């Protein structure tokens, strides 16, 4: 049995060796360029999925190699071990090594490397739709190796994100042997080196040109000038001349390297100054509004600066081979991301999340109560909101009685809600279900303190404060909207008679609120609409600030002439403070009114279940059904449905906004788990702290 196992291992080793020899035998530097590129693709595929490296070395009669271990790595990747065996085989067969060296030289001769070095990974069209279409085509449409674009060939050479792992793991000895292989042919060695250096120089010129073009764009330039300017000449203006000095020093490099070192120091300092100028724009955006296109332009600008530094290291660094391998590994990661639709979605949603959280956090602070006095004030404001919504309920019932066309009925209902929400806001009252999506961004501001001592506990305190605020809002709304709707219903019945709200209609409304029906689904869907309204509010507030509409209201000549200077200034200040809230009120009302009618066009019965409005309908139905309704099981199922309605309205809208805030702050899974553990402990030890206010304010 031992002899049989040894024989099987020998046969496997022979097959592995035969595959490697056949691969090298197929290398033909005289073939058409596209056929040479196909051979390189096959060779790299063999490195990824070839035979076991130890059996391969055994079959090739090569001594086993004890690869040096990198500090951050336990095992050398199999691809590197196969590459080592292949290089050992080429050392024994000079003719085949010459063919491989010629193919590598032809790769630089017949392709444009600057398209890879300077532009790989950067989007020419930063719009989401165009980028999505481009990635979709790159993901599903086949690419051809018959091209001069080395960036296209690189995506075929290294199609997997895992390629970055073994490229980064190449040890210095393997890198040195690869460089020696590429320069193996004496006649072509100088040409290969010259082409490679020329490609790096051209890529640096292209990178610097893109950096200067982005830095000189009107949107960024205006914001850089508004920020604290660096002393001396503008870094973007002088960057090209500093690169010229570096390239001139490289061309004239002899025994004295001092001019080159001085030019390199100035160029690197210029890149650092450009990076500082780009980072200074973020502070301006936080104060004066932001946009996804601006943030994306800044992101690409910083990536261009990093690319320029990486290219410079490959050209004049102390370890150019190591830096080149690291650069190619980065390209492999970028290539995988550029093919990923999910990565594009995550990146854009992160930008949107950051945009909403930055501009909407201050508003949310007004909805968080932290002591008994603020709790009682919130309860009173919510009761005022319930008073208004009691009248809103009966106006909605009247609109439904008109039996208009779908769109007009939904529009009238939406305007009814929107006007009511605006009135509540102008009276400084509140609607409970609007609070969660507003307060989650405010909580996101405190997520940055998680790493500090006691940061997690302080954040859980804020969660308790928020939940308590929501409870006060819901209790206050429901506490008054039910009796107000009931009293209006009783007055209408006394004045107009039973036709004011027929019993059949009242029974239908009561059944529609039942927990046994689709109420939980509708309530969760309404929570999504509540979240969307907060997104619209954040967008409107940011757009108002970004386009400086407050300044336009205050200083526009026509507006000042019409309103007067003082009134224009007051209007500008008022809209600056309230534009987000007003946009949220109006958008929420229209969403609640129009969304069900929109789905009804497609035959989908998807209703909204807003806890305050549902409570008003409950009171209106009870007015028509009389005191005997308490004996009907539908009465109690409707009450249970309203309770679940409130939980789902608040819970879903807050959860979505909270997830958006987490993405905006980049909170990792480990930190989230610490939050959830601390939150669970608080629920077990002090559950009432999430509903009732503390008797005294505890120092945090």
SS3 state at 112:
strand
Is 50 exceeded by the pLDDT of residue 452? yes
Residue 227 pLDDT exceeds 80: no
- 461 vs 327, higher pLDDT: 327
Given a cut of 70, is residue 71 above it in pLDDT?
no
Structure tokens at 162: 């895992």
Say how far apart CA 271 and CA 477 lie, in whole Å: 58
Q: What is the pLDDT of residues 138-169, one digit of tens each?
A: 677 788 899 999 988 998 999 888 899 999 99
Total-model pTM: 0.68
Phi, psi torsion values for 579, nearest 5 degrees: -60, -40
Q: 484 falls in which pLDDT band (50, 70, 90)?
A: very high
Q: What is the pLDDT of residue 482?
A: 94
Distance CA 535, CA 541 (A): 10
Give the Cα separation of 625 and 615 in Å (integer): 15
Q: Give pLDDT, residue 451.
A: 62
Query: Residue 274 and residue 518: Cα distance in Å, rounded?
Result: 57
Angle 40-46-48 (CA atoms, 0-180°, nearest 5)? 110
- Identify which of 526, 537, 355, 353 has the alpha carbon closest to the alpha carbon of residue 438: 537
CATH assignment, 367-690: 1.20.1080
Alpha helices in 445-548 (DSSP H): 455-496, 503-512, 519-546
Which residue from 312, 199, 179, 342 is spatially nearest to 246, judged by alpha carbons? 312
Inform me whether the pLDDT recorded for 127 exceeds 60. Answer: no
Q: Where in the chain is the domain with CATH 1.20.1080?
A: 367-690
Distance of CA 694 to the CA centre of its chain: 37
pLDDT band at 5; cut points 50, 70, 90: very low
Please write the tens of the pLDDT for every residue from 506-540.
999 999 999 998 999 999 999 999 888 887 887 78
Provide, rounded to the nearest whole percent, the portion of the chain with pLDDT above 90: 37
Task: Give the pair of three-digit tokens for residue 152.
Answer: 């296209």
């Amino acid at each position: 049995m031992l002899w049989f196992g040894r024989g099987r291992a020998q046969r496997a080793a022979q097959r592995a060796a035969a595959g490697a020899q056949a691969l090298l035998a197929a290398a033909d530097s005289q073939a058409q360029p596209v056929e040479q590129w196909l051979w390189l693709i096959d060779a790299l595929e063999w490195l990824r999925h070839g035979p076991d490296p130890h059996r391969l070395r055994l079959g090739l009669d090569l001594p086993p190699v004890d690869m040096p271990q990198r500090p951050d790595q336990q095992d050398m990747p199999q691809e590197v071990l196969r590459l080592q065996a292949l290089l050992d085989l080429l050392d024994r067969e000079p003719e085949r090594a010459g063919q491989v060296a010629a193919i590598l030289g032809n790769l630089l001769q017949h392709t444009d490397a600057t398209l890879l070095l300077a532009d790989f990974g950067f989007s020419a069209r930063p719009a989401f739709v165009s980028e999505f279409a481009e990635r979709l085509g790159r993901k599903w449409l086949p690419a051809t190796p018959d091209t001069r674009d080395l960036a296209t060939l690189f995506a075929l050479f290294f199609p997997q994100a895992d390629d970055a792992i073994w490229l980064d793991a190449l040890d210095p000895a393997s890198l040195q042997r690869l460089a020696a292989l590429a320069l193996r042919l004496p006649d072509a060695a100088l040409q290969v080196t010259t082409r490679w250096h020329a490609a790096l120089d051209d890529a640096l010129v292209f990178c610097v040109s893109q950096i200067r073009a982005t830095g000189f764009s009107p949107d960024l330039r205006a914001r850089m000038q508004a920020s604290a300017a660096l002393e001396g000449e503008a870094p973007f203006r002088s960057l090209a001349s500093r690169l010229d000095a570096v390239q001139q020093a490289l061309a004239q490099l002899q025994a004295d390297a001092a001019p080159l070192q001085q030019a390199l120091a100035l160029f690197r300092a210029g890149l650092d100054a450009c990076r500082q100028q780009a980072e200074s724009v973020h502070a301006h955006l936080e104060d004066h509004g932001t946009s996804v296109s601006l943030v994306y332009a800044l992101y690409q600008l910083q990536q261009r600066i990093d690319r320029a530094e990486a290219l410079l290291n490959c050209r004049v660094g102390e370890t150019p081979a190591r830096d080149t391998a690291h650069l190619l590994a980065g390209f492999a990661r970028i290539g995988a991301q550029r093919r990923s639709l999910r990565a594009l979605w995550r990146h854009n949603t992160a930008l949107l999340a950051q945009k909403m959280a930055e501009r909407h956090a201050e508003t949310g602070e007004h909805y968080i109560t932290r002591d008994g006095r603020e709790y009682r004030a919130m309860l009173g404001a919510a009761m005022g909101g319930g008073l208004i919504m009691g009248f809103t309920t009966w106006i909605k019932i009247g609109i439904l009685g008109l039996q208009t066309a779908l769109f007009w009925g939904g529009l009238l209902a939406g305007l009814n809600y929107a006007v009511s929400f605006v009135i509540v806001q102008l009276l400084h009252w509140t609607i409970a279900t609007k609070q969660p999506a507003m307060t989650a961004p405010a909580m996101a501001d405190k997520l940055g303190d998680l790493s500090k001592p006691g940061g997690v506990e302080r954040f859980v305190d804020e969660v308790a404060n928020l939940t308590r605020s929501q409870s006060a809002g819901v209790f206050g709304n429901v506490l008054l909207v039910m009796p107000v709707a009931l009293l209006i219903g009783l007055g209408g019945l006394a004045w107009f008679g039973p036709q004011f709200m027929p019993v059949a209609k009242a029974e239908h409304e009561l059944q529609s609120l039942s927990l046994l029906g689709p109420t939980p689904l509708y309530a969760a869907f309404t929570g999504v609409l509540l979240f969307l309204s907060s997104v619209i509010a954040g967008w409107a507030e940011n757009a108002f600030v970004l386009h400086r509409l407050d300044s336009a209201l205050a200083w526009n000549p026509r507006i000042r002439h019409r309103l007067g200077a003082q009134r224009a200034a007051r209007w500008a200040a008022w809209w600056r403070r309230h534009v987000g809230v007003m946009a949220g009120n109006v958008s929420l009302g229209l969403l609640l009114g129009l969304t069900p009618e929109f789905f009804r066009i497609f035959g989908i019965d998807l209703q909204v279940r807003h806890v305050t409005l549902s409570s008003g309908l409950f009171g209106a139905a009870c007015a028509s059904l009389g005191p005997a309704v308490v004996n009907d099981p539908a009465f109690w199922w409707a009450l249970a449905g309203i309770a679940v309605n409130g939980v789902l309205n608040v819970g879903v809208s807050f959860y979505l906004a909270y997830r958006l805030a987490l993405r905006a702050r980049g909170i990792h899974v480990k930190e989230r788990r610490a939050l959830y553990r601390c939150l669970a402990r608080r629920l077990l030890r002090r559950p009432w702290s999430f509903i009732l206010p503390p008797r005294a304010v505890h120092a945090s």
